[in-house]
Amino acid sequence: MGELRLMKGNEAIAEAAIRAGCDGYFGYPITPQSEILEYLMAEKPYEKTGMVVLQAESEVASINMVYGGAGAGKMVMTTSSSPGVSLMQEGISYIAGAELPALLVNINRGGPGLGTIQPSQADYWQSTKGGGHGDYHLLVLAPASVQEMSDFVKLGFDLAFKYRNPVIIHSDGAIGQMMEKVVLFDPIPRRTDDEIKKQCPWATVGKTPDRKRSIITSLELDPGKQEQVNLRLQAKYRKMEAEEVRYEEIACDDAEYIFVAFGTSARICQKSIELARAKGYKVGLFRPITLYPFPVNPLRELSTKIKGILVVEMNAGQMIEDVKLAVSCSLKVEHYGRFGGIIPTPEEVTENLISKVIGG
Amino acid sequence: MEKTINKEQIRKPENLVYRRTPLLVDVPLSYCPGCGHGTAHRMIMEVIEEMGIQQDTIGIAPVGCSVLAYDFLDIDMQQAAHGRAPALATAIKRLWPDKFVFTYQGDGDLAAIGTAETIHACNRGEHFTMIFVNNGIYGMTGGQMAPTTLPHMRSSTSPYGRDVEIMGFPLKMTELITHLPGTYYVTRQSVHTPANVRKTKKAIRKAFENQKLKKGISFVEIVSNCNSGWKMNAVQANKWMEENMFPFYPLGDLKVDGQIVEKK
Amino acid sequence: MAKVVGDIAVNIERCKGCEVCVGVCPQQVIGMSVEVNGKGYHYAGPVNDKCTGCENCALVCPDGCITVYRMKVEVEQ
Ligand SMILES: Cc1ncc(C[n+]2csc(CCOP(=O)(O)OP(=O)(O)O)c2C)c(N)n1
């Protein structure tokens, strides 16, 4: 059994990074996620595991440091919050285009613009639909607890290397800031240089006479070849859709109505289920854990057994589009959202289920 | 009486004194006729060949005419987003501290869009080498004004000449970073004459050797031509460069072994 | 007495006819061809036997097209 600790979600991410054998963290301060960089600087993993930690001059620099480090075969990550992640989008697109493993974290805050420092889920589209330019996807993990903040760091790195694709932990200021107990996984040693060379033959680690030079690029001037690159990426995304879907169903066995919600919204919905059931309504929760690939088939299957869905998000209605596509508009799908940094109360969520879906 | 010596007698392997280094990939370069990028590439690869560090070198290509440098240099390379080469190099050098890491950038890349990454990599005193090819113009996109375009110089976005009242002044990035504590060696060279090519190669060699000392950035600016962008032939462009670029961007060392070179 | 003689070999198909090599030759050895190569460029080449193998042309050639040979020969007087 791992070590039990009481930690903030942001701290759990930082601690998990060290334990996962991460080679390099590059970041820039922004609320509500600055504790990640602060924790790492306080822990000084560069003296313990040899992990590099660097405060960059901007998010543009930090994502491009991640691009460089990932191209060199290292296990690297950055974290930020919404405005900072917007600034990173060009670099993220390059990383996806060059097919490199990297872990990104967005502790969402309310927007648009400088918005608010309070929690939000308004970057759902940005995380799941690409965000930067070109046809690409990140693999998107949505933790709903401090425990998952820690666990998804390791899972995220595993998936990033498995698919040579950037993975983003899509969380929000509430989970980043809240303290919960967390069971930390046992530390994994960083890979040795030789292990890296073996695991990542494509990486830029110095050309030896026995191989062709490694080139990390997202450029292909020949449109025919660029189309092939795109087709290869699409095949990878189909594989992720087939193999990496993760979700959780709570109280769905007898449910007639369900909430679909992720992250902090999903936690609120758990309380709303209790309130609704106390009123005699059979209500459950479907929680997507991978926002991309979206759990299309499990949700579709569940939708055949129920009468209606309330999608609860801390935004004006983003995931609802994926929900509607999944269920092919075969039943009532309504949305309830609060935005600008407001977390909905369980009571208002239940009321909205009753008024918009059950009674409406 | 002089014996006549025929070419076959001279062109023997034992008489070979100069050949294109095999560390340049055997493909045609994508550059315009007479462009200094090709010579700059060759000097870098000659240094890598002479130091025997092909296996330990990682290069970063920019966005600009030299975006395809990785097609020509037979070493492991990464292609950066426009202006971000120093960020990539920072991470790579920190994660592989015993490798030789260098960036290769044009003036738009290094001194406009990448200004922040350039200054901060220099100011942090990263231990890699920066090669800065300054042709006073955006070559790749068709000859637009660069931060380094001279006053009154014409470009496609300063068709009547750079009016500094409206368009601002050219930026001497090399002078600027000389004064940052994190730079260890800063020099400005050119590759348009044999003597200058030799000096440039020496400078690049020093800049690479310095990486072993881990004392900060070694920065080699190469003032170069862009005959297509300047709308001249290569020979005219080199002459124009001597007459116009060098007075504004004087050649020579600006900082050696961490000491600023005092100008007399 | 010893004398240095040299020769250059130009990779004709790689030459882009920029003429940068022409002016840096102290012996005025290099001229441009009348005919063009596969890419349509007039290419550089030696036009006399005065080459000393000084390497100047090869050093400035942006495309690295020039290979240089040099040897010492004894000249009887
Ligand atoms: C973010 C971004 N903005 C603009 C461009 C377009 N662009 C490509 S190359 C270039 C200018 C390069 O000029 P310079 O760095 O001086 O190099 P040169 O081509 O002259 O060698 C520009 C603006 C781009 N690729 N990416």
Chains touching chain A at 3 or more Cβ pairs under 8 angstroms?
Answer: B
The tokens describing B172, both together, are 């001497």
Residues of C in contact with B233 (CB under 8 A): 18-19
One digit per residue, pLDDT tens: chain C, 77 residues?
A: 889 999 999 999 999 999 999 999 999 999 999 999 999 999 999 999 999 999 999 999 999 999 999 999 988 76
Q: Please, which pLDDT band fits residue B5 given cuts at 50, 70 and 90?
A: confident
| Ligand 1 pocket mutation pick from B141, B153, B227, B249 by most atoms within 8 angstroms of CB | B141
Distance CA A186, CA B50 (A): 47
Domains of chain C: 2-74 (3.30.70.20)
Question: Touching check for A344 and chain B: CB below 8 Å?
Answer: no
Distance B68 CA to ligand 1 centre (A): 13
ipTM higher than threshold 0.95: yes
Enumerate the H helices of A100-212 as residue ranges. 124-128, 146-163, 173-177, 193-199
Distance CA B91, CA B84 (A): 11
Report yes or no on whether pTM surpasses 0.90.
yes
**Class (C level, CATH) for B31-258:** alpha beta
Distance CA B12, CA A229 (A): 46
The 10s digit of each residue's pLDDT in B49-91 is: 999 999 999 999 999 999 999 999 999 999 999 999 999 999 9
C-beta separation of B22 from B176 below 8 A:
no
Distance CA A205, CA B77 (A): 9
Q: Which residues of A174-192 are buried (b: 16+ CB within 10 A; e: fewer)?
A: bbbbbeeebebbebeebbe
Domains of chain A: 3-196 (3.40.50.970), 248-358 (3.40.50.920)
Question: Touching check for C42 and chain B: CB below 8 Å?
Answer: no
Put simply, the answer to whether C69 touches B11 (Cβ < 8 Å) is yes
Distance CA A66, CA A70 (A): 6
Instruction: Strand A247-250: give its sheet, edge to edge.
Output: A247-250, A283-288, A257-260, A308-313, A332-337
Q: What pLDDT score does A1 carry? A: 66
| Alpha carbon A86 to its chain's center | 15
Contacts 24+ apart (CB under 8 A), B70-74: B70/A213, B70/A215, B70/A217, B71/B25, B71/B27, B71/B30, B72/B24, B72/B25, B72/B27, B72/B29, B72/B41, B73/B23, B73/B24, B73/B25, B73/B41, B73/B44, B73/B45, B74/A207, B74/A213, B74/B22, B74/B23, B74/B24, B74/B25, B74/B45
The 10s digit of each residue's pLDDT in A231-270 is: 999 999 999 999 999 999 999 999 999 999 999 999 999 9
